[in-house]
């Protein structure tokens, strides 16, 4: 063999050896039709929860299975946009707006990537990593589907590479919240898998699902939201005697989707037990049709509480009812019944029309109700968290052929948009007090109430602006708290980068095609962008009343990218991007694919 030939062969061998060594240490990369497809290096977690013996096992013979049969043809949810509507609403203006949202997402993600990679959050001013959700990388997992939807595929690939190595047995805390871990981590993995079909994401979702499933290994099979890892491994968890209805009621979508994707009904069986308890108790609470904010899971799902709300600690329990109907393809009629009763009660007692200055918009808000079973008294404190209710009413109204509820949803969504515009920053505060059109019993005493309210109570009826009534309700607070006219008080002046208002505006736009909502959304986005911007990212702010530079709270939770920016991006995108007839969103804005009747394409 000549020296030249030997050298050539040696060079080729060296190249192949180098390639082999590199590929053995990194992800395998294939190129198919111009796109990269990776076989990610999957690292199993160091503890296999599937193999953990159950202290309170479920008999396989009695396990509830996913409903069988061909999914029903559900009513059309998304507005059928005409070519003319699309040309007017999805033009260069909307493309520029969409790109503006994407740029904010890119700079927010870049700050997380550069200063807190693998941590739960980045503090957007001090630029340090923080672990607030067990340290598995909440922002990273929560943002996966946003990265995919926005076309940030390289960032998505980098994130998937990290996800493939997450060890759920290696947390930065002794415990975690079942609720938060479920909606952010499990929901994020399942959604990203539904969109990308990257199998490693499903593998990690199964690992996590098996861990969270252990929360149901309790004496009565009700979940323990305080998920202490060692106690769970020992099978000694117990359900709480004072648990929020949101925590117990917001597991169904994720556990059901996991069962659908794996064919393993154990996850679905676990949450079906909650559904049965919700059904059993719905008509026996002190506000029949709704459940109190807190429930005693230890004592036979005891619902003796007197406070009812669509806000904090209750919100997503109601949101999941209509969405479960959709995810199950309408094969379980129970969820329709639960939703219909709950929304009828909420519309009658929880929603109210506020007294607003002229020109008063036709809007509604959800408050909180105290009920002892005989008297239901409305507290008109509104929460940014409750702004999701517009989308919930509209979606349920369309699913269950109740256009009156679609109209209620529209009024709720526009109510929160009004609250944004009412404050100097153009952003709605965390909590505020309004004045209902319908006077409350505390206003002016019993005689005044009898004179002003001779007819049966109607919380949704309009009323003229009454400066005297507003002044009497606010007193000195109007000046000392710098209250906008129509606002009677502020419980919290903060804005925490929350998504609920734009969520409802997005849903209403997609359901109705009302093009003015695009401008409403843009006004909201511009106000938020300006008020929250830091040097490299965006931060929650201390006071929405600021007229100059806002005080930052150095907080950027994972839902900023996962929810808020995703909804802003989607409303300015083509309606076929995450069509609401093909996907249902969990409460963390993670879209899950809906089952379709045989022969019907998802496209």
Binding-site residue positions for Ca(2+): 587
Q: Which of 452-484 are b and which e, b meaning 16 or more Cβ less than 10 Å from the residue's Cβ? A: eeeeeeebbeebeeeeebbeebbeeebeeebbb
Q: Which residues are annotated as a binding site?
A: 587
SS3 433: strand
Residue 488: CA count within 13 A, CB half-sphere: 22
- Which ranges constitute the DSSP H helices of 547-590? 559, 565-571
DSSP H helical ranges for 430-587: 445-452, 467-474, 477-480, 500-512, 516-532, 559, 565-571
Told to judge if 48 belongs to the known catalytic residues of this protein, a careful annotator would answer no
Structure token digits, residue 167: 């060890």
Q: Compute the chain's Rg from CA coordinates.
A: 26
Give CA–CA dist 163/149, Å, rounded.
Answer: 18
Report whether the peptide linkage leading into residue 359 is cis, meaning its omega lies within 30 degrees of zero. yes
Cβ(488)–Cβ(470) below 8 Å: yes
Active-site option among 500, 503, 543, 563: 500
Q: Which of 155, 315, 381, 557 is catalytic?
A: 315
SS3 assignment, position 356: coil
Residues 6+ positions from 106 with CB-CB distance below 8 Å: 152
Residue 76 corresponds to which tokens in the numbers above? 């059309």
Please, how many CA atoms are within 13 Å of residue 272, restricted to the half-sphere of its CB? 18
DSSP code of residue 562: I
DSSP letters, 190-243, are HHHHHHH--HHHHHHHHHHHHHHHGGG-STT----SEEEHHHHHTT-----SSE
Residue 516 CB: number of other CB atoms within 10 A?
Answer: 10
Torsion angle of C-alpha atoms 271, 275, 277, 279, degrees rounded to 10: 180
68 is catalytic: no
- The C-alpha atoms of residue 509 and residue 10 are separated, in whole angstroms, by 64
Q: Identify the CA nearest to 385 among candidates 319, 348, 340, 430.
A: 430
**Count of alpha carbons within 13 angstroms of residue 229, beta-carbon side:** 15
443 is catalytic: no
Whether 403 and 77 have beta carbons less than 8 Å apart is answered as no
Active site residue 430: yes
Q: Is 574 helix (H, G, I), strand (E, B) or coil?
A: coil
In the 8-state DSSP scheme, what is residue 95? H
- Name which of 524, 290, 282, 280 is nearest 387 in CA terms: 524
Cα–Cα distance between 368 and 199 in angstroms, integer? 43
Instruction: Please state, as a whole number, how many other Cβ atoms lie within 10 Å of the Cβ of residue 25.
Output: 8
Of 121, 155, 210, 430, the catalytic one is: 430
Q: For residue 213, list its beta bridge partners.
A: none
The residues carrying an active-site annotation are: 180, 315, 430, 500
């Amino acid at each position: 063999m000549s020296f030249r030939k030997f050298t050539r062969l040696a060079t080729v061998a060296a190249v192949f050896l180098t390639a082999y060594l590199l590929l053995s240490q990194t992800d395998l990369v294939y190129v198919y039709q111009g796109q990269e497809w990776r076989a990610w290096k999957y690292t199993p977690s160091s503890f296999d929860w599937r193999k953990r013996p159950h202290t309170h096992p479920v008999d396989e013979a009695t396990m509830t299975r996913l409903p069988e049969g061909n999914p029903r043809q559900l009513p059309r949810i998304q507005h059928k946009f005409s070519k003319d509507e699309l040309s007017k609403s999805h033009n260069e203006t909307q493309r520029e707006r969409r790109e503006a949202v994407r740029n904010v997402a890119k700079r927010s993600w870049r700050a997380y990537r550069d200063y807190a990679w693998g941590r739960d959050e980045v503090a957007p001013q001090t630029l340090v990593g923080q672990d607030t959700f067990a340290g598995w990388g909440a922002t990273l997992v929560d943002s996966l589907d946003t990265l995919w939807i926005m076309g940030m595929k390289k960032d998505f690939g980098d994130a998937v590479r990290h996800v493939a190595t997450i060890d759920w047995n290696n947390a930065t805390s002794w415990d975690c919240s079942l609720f938060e871990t479920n909606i952010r981590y499990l929901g994020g993995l399942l959604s990203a898998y539904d969109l990308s079909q990257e199998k490693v994401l499903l593998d990690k979702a199964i690992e996590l699902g098996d861990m969270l499933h252990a929360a149901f290994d309790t004496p009565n099979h009700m979940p323990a939201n305080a998920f202490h890892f060692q106690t769970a491994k020992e099978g000694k968890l117990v359900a709480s005697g004072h648990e929020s209805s949101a925590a117990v009621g917001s597991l169904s979508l994720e556990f059901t989707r996991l069962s659908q994707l794996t064919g393993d009904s154990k996850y679905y069986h676990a949450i079906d037990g909650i559904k049965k308890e919700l059904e059993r108790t719905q008509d026996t609470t002190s506000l029949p049709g709704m459940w109190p904010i807190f429930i005693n899971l230890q004592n036979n799902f005891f619902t003796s509480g007197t406070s009812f709300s669509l806000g904090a600690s209750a919100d997503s329990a109601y949101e999941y009812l209509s969405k479960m109907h959709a995810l199950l393809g309408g094969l379980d009629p129970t969820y329709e019944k639960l939703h219909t009763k709950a929304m009828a009660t909420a519309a009658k007692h929880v929603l109210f029309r506020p007294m607003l200055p002229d020109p008063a918009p036709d809007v509604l808000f959800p408050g909180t109700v105290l009920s002892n079973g005989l008297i239901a008294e409305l507290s008109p404190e509104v929460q940014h968290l409750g702004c999701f209710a517009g989308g919930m009413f509209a979606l349920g109204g369309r699913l269950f052929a109740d256009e009156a509820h679609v109209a209620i949803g529209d009024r709720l969504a526009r109510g929160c948009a009004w609250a944004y515009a009412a404050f100097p920053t153009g952003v709605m505060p965390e909590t505020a007090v309004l004045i209902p059109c319908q006077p409350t019993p505390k206003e002016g005493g019993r005689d005044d109430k009898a004179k002003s309210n001779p007819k049966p109570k109607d919380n949704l009826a309009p009323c003229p602006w009454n400066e005297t009534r507003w002044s009497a309700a606010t007193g000195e607070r109007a000046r000392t708290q710098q209250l906008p006219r129509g606002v009677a008080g502020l419980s919290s002046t903060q804005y925490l980068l929350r998504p609920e208002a734009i969520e409802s505006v997005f849903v209403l736009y997609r359901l109705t095609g009302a093009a003015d909502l695009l401008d409403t959304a843009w006004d909201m986005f511009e106000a938020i962008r300006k008020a929250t911007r830091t040097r490299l990212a965006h931060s929650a702010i201390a006071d929405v009343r600021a007229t100059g530079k806002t005080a930052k709270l150095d907080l950027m939770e994972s839902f900023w990218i996962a929810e808020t920016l995703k909804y802003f991006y989607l409303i300015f995108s083509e309606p076929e991007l995450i069509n609401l007839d093909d996907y249902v969103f969990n409460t963390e804005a993670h879209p899950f694919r809906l089952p379709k009747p045989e022969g019907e394409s998802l496209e």
